[in-house]
Amino acid sequence: MTTHSIDFRIYYEDTDAGGIVYHARYLAFAERARTEAIRSLGMPAASLLSEFGLVFVVRDATINYRVPLTLDDIATVTTRLLEQKAASCRLEQVFTRGNEFCARVDVVLACVKAKDGRPARFPPLWRDLLRRLEAEE
């Protein structure tokens, strides 16, 4: 069991006029980090749709900002599973710059049928895959 970390450089397009990362960009970086975390476990997120007709949707997201990221910073986003239920999971995504805590995203993903948006249980393969993002305490 392990967490997943990935680095992103902050570009001008990510910032406001003052060179501070625009608040909504944290959600975009978090989305990319989740996608890469799943891919690192050997399964592209697109295969959930192609093989099972299911997709992830964000049901809830909370962002706690502490220290702003700025133009040209290298931000590390670390993703870990906090909780898993039959048709949803809760992930924590921590943004750091070096050893400095910058922000935290707490996100709940629901598994739904692509054809009608109704909740669906995670297939066993995906349940086991997500569990591998559970960090050892």
- Tell me what pLDDT residue 40 has: 93
CA dist., res. 21 & res. 118, Å (int): 35
The question of whether 14 is a catalytic residue gets the answer no
Q: How far apart are CA 115 and CA 128, in angstroms?
A: 24
Query: Does residue 137 lie within any of the structural domains?
Result: no
Question: Residue holding tokens 């960009």?
Answer: 25
pTM confidence score: 0.93
pLDDT score of 137 more than 60? no
Q: How many domains does the chain have?
A: 1
What gap in Å lies between CA 70 and CA 45, rounded to an integer? Answer: 30
30-63 pLDDT tens trace: 999 999 999 999 888 899 999 999 999 999 999 9
Domain residue limits at 64: 4-132
For the stretch 63-112, pLDDT in tens is 999 999 999 999 999 999 999 999 999 999 999 999 999 999 999 999 99
Distance CA(93)–CA(33), nearest Å, equals 8
Maximum Cα interatomic distance, the chain, rounded to a whole number of Å: 47
Residue holding tokens 């608040």?
23
What is the CATH classification number for the domain harbouring 124? 3.10.129.10
Q: Is residue 91 part of a domain?
A: yes
In a domain, 29, yes or no: yes
Nearest residue to 124 (alpha-carbon basis) of 17, 48, 36: 48
Among candidate residues 16, 60, 72, 128, the one labeled active-site is 16
The Cα–Cα gap between 73 and 65 comes to: 16
